[in-house]
Amino acid sequence: MALREELIASAAEILGSRMLTEDSSCGGVAAALITENGNIYRGICLDAPCSLGFCAEQGAIASMLAGGESRVVAIAAVHEDGRILPPCGRCRELLYQINHGNLSAEVFLPEGSTELRNLLSCVWN
């Protein structure tokens, strides 16, 4: 299985929206990333009021950091309707901030992929 399909399938395995309270939910988006050591880490989104939630990519990143790693080779996020989603600006910046080498991480997009550096508003060397 190609890396794109592997990460998308891994993320899709943990998808599943569910209500946590009357105004908070989780699981509508899932992400999977693979590190330079070949480990896959996954996360789901948390949608809560007052900006207290977080993206699926952030969940996967936190899991990776808990595993003692920070270098991402590739990352994919999947919406529960099957769409592949690009990381938001906050997630893009977080990937860069935790390891500057992540500029070369492959980010899977709805059609194709690109390096993280191409998704940041500034061009980093």
Q: Is the pLDDT of residue 1 over 80?
A: no
Domain boundaries, the chain: 3-117
Query: For residue range 47-64, what is the model confidence (pLDDT) as tens digits?
Result: 998 888 999 999 999 999
The CA-CA-CA angle for residues 24, 13, 117, to 5°, reads: 80
Strand spans (E) along 7-112: 18-21, 24-35, 40-47, 72-79, 84-85, 106-108
CATH annotation of 3-117: 3.40.140.10
Structure tokens at 12: 């899709």
Q: Is this prediction's pTM over 0.85?
A: yes
Query: For residue range 7-33, what is the model confidence (pLDDT) as tens digits?
Result: 999 999 999 999 999 999 999 999 999
- Give the number of other Cβ atoms within 10 Å of residue 14's Cβ: 17
